[in-house]
Structure 1
Amino acid sequence: MAELTNAPTDKQARIPQPLPEAEEVYRRWLGYLDEEFTRHQAAERRAEIVRDQLFQLYLGRPHGGKLNFTLTSELPLNVLQLSLDPGNITLEAEHHPDVDQERFAASKPLLWFWIMFDRSPIGLNHWLGIRFRCMLGHHLFAKMGKGVRIDHGVELTYGYNLTIDDGVIVRQRALLDDRAAIHLGEGAVIGNYARIYTHTHDNDDYDKLIFAETTIGARARVGAHTTVLAGTKMGDGEIVGPHGTAK
């Protein structure tokens, strides 16, 4: 099960435990999702899995039955139910001309699950959230190391261009704009609201995009609110920020 190998140990995380009964249910749910995403690689099937899970998280009931499109009074509920299906929503990343349509199709249901889990009430459950993102990252990222901690509200672009080594910490509300490759080295820490980019604009033609791999070295520290520009290669143990710009 990916959650057990990727998530930080309780000693590493230094956060309170849920009650035993709740922990057992949480682990069963994560294990079930991990097995489902391992068995099902097709975008359509993954979208169904995500839809069914979001129905229960948001509406408290399984997906099923026909919607009543005739009653104007039910239109908001219809909009909500339809939007819980990844097949009915669009993401900003889909509009980028550089998107790999085939790879993004497989990533999209998992990206929507990532976003909507964090916006649900249980997304604020710190213990569960860390382990949920580790589990999902195992299926979404190019590589997901062991003992990784990704906090609430972290934003991704494609997901499939991310390589995260062992022991990385990504704190709340950071942006990993992986339109090209991002590599976070072992033990690196990305601070709250940090922005890590892999694209920029040509100086002579703003409409022309330039893509470059961005690397954060092992044990490097990116301070809160720091912007790391495309093509940056931070060395091992290097520290930048807060409020600075790595170049």
Structure 2
Amino acid sequence: MTWLKPVSIDAGAQSSYAAFFQDLETRLADPATDRYRLARELLAEAMYGRSYEALQADAPLAALNLDARNITFEAEYYMATDTARFERVKPLLWLWKSMDLTPMGQNPVFGIPLRRILAGHIFKSVGRDFKCWQNVEFSVGYNMEVGDDVVVHRNVLLDDIGGIELHDGASVSDYVNIYSHTHSVLDGPDVTLRRTIIGRGARLTYHSTILAGSVVSDDAMLATHALLRGDIPPHGIAMGLPARVTRMKIRPPQDGYRVVAAEWPHEAGRKANPLFPDPTPNQTRLPDGDPALEKVLSQK
């Protein structure tokens, strides 16, 4: 049972919002809709209170930056990004990101339903009642798989270039970073993609970080400021840097586990840069036995 209480607003405002969302959903579902044009029109109205054409006449530089054809995302510079797939979601990502900077985006009654609609046209899949707060960043968006009743809080980074799964009821707290790619220690351009899995009912708490390829099982929890570079079993609570399972929830075994880290088919990793096609070998060692390094460390 939820601990949140219902909040109501003026009926006239709610009716106006509902009409806007219905129109937006209809336009996005129409294959003939020019998503770039749609996004720039909505941003001009939301940010400047005028049509895009009027803004173009009065403030051409401002208008240019509302049109996603005239801006770039970091993902566009990377070989791992599927150009065709990103082209389709790019204007919607720009609309999402830019609307978050407006009073409309900061208003949960408007912003959350707007993001829910956009997610349905950006993500690989999204379930019912997705709740996403403001200022959440994606790498590409199209590699997100989100279940039912998932909550993502403010200022979260979802690096989905290699794929992220958030299963039913998963909760992602403020400032969490979830990654799905890694860099070689010796060669930064040697990038490996690994899908990261967050199980059903799992909780990732404030400022925690999940590295690529990690599997957080159903009903598991990652503690505040923890850094996970592995797995957490069902009902496990992982803490620390790096995170270790130090507690287990006192809860009877449940039926129907979907994500159990010990049984999950972990990916070997997909190479993102054709210049580095081979699996990345182990590239580090402990400093023990290196006289030069021990001398440097002893001087600190």
Query: If the TM-score is normalised by the length of the shorter chain, which range does it land in?
Result: 0.7 to 0.9
Alignment of 1:18 with 2:9, yes or no, is yes
1:246/1:51 CA distance change after superposition, 3 Å: same
Structure scoring higher RCO (CA < 8 A, sep ≥ 6) equals 1
The one of 118, 143, 148 equivalent to 2:125 is 143
- Choose which of 26, 32, 35 in structure 1 pairs with 2:26: 35
- Per-residue CA deviation, residues 45-102 of structure 1 (Å, 9 max, x unaligned), is 100011111111111112225955xxxxx7xx32111111111111111111211000
For 1:41 and 1:198, the matched residues in 2 are separated by: 33
Structure 2 counterpart of 1:174: 156
**Bigger radius of gyration among the two:** 2
Alpha-carbon separation, structure 1, partners of 2:96 and 2:158:
13
Q: Quick check: 1:203 aligned with 2:192?
A: no
Name the CA distance, whole Å, in 2 between partners of 1:19 and 1:246.
44
User: Secondary structure of 1:192's match?
Assistant: coil
Q: Which amino acid aligns with 1:161?
A: N
Counterpart-to-counterpart distance in 1, 2:119 and 2:32: 14
Select the residue among 40, 45, 69 that pairs with 1:56.
45
Query: Aligned partners of 1:22 and 1:192: how far apart in 2?
Result: 29
Secondary structure of residue in 2 paired with 1:119: coil
Match of 1:134 in 2: 116
2:208 equivalent in structure 1: 226
Which secondary structure does the structure 2 equivalent of 1:111 belong to?
helix
1:15–1:127: 8 Å Cα contact kept in structure 2?
no
TM-score by length of 2: 0.73
Tell me the CA shift for residue 15 of structure 1: 4.7
How many matched pairs?
228
Higher helix share: 1
Q: How large is the RMSD of aligned CA atoms in angstroms? A: 1.7
Unaligned runs of 5+ in 1: 1-10, 69-73
Aligned with 2:182: secondary structure? strand
Q: 1:233/1:25 Cα in 2 relative to 1: closer, same or farther (>3 Å)?
A: same
**1:183 paired to 2:165:** yes
Superposed CA offset, 1:98-149 (max 9, x none): 1100000001000000001101121111111111110110111011110211
Quote the Cα distance in structure 2 between the aligned partners of 1:102 and 1:212.
Answer: 21
Q: In the alignment, residue 42 of structure 2 is paired with which amino acid?
A: Q
Q: Percent identity?
A: 32
Deviation at 1:202, TM superposition (A): 1.6
Amino acid across the alignment from 1:54: L
Does the 8 Å CA contact 2:209/2:228 hold for their aligned counterparts? yes
Q: Which amino acid aligns with 2:53?
A: G
Q: Which residue of 1 aligns with 2:64?
A: 82
Residue type of the partner of 2:112?
I
Output the CA distance in 2 between the equivalents of 1:158 and 1:133: 15
Give CA-to-partner distance per residue, 1:20-41, whole Å, 9 cap, x none: 1000100111111111111036
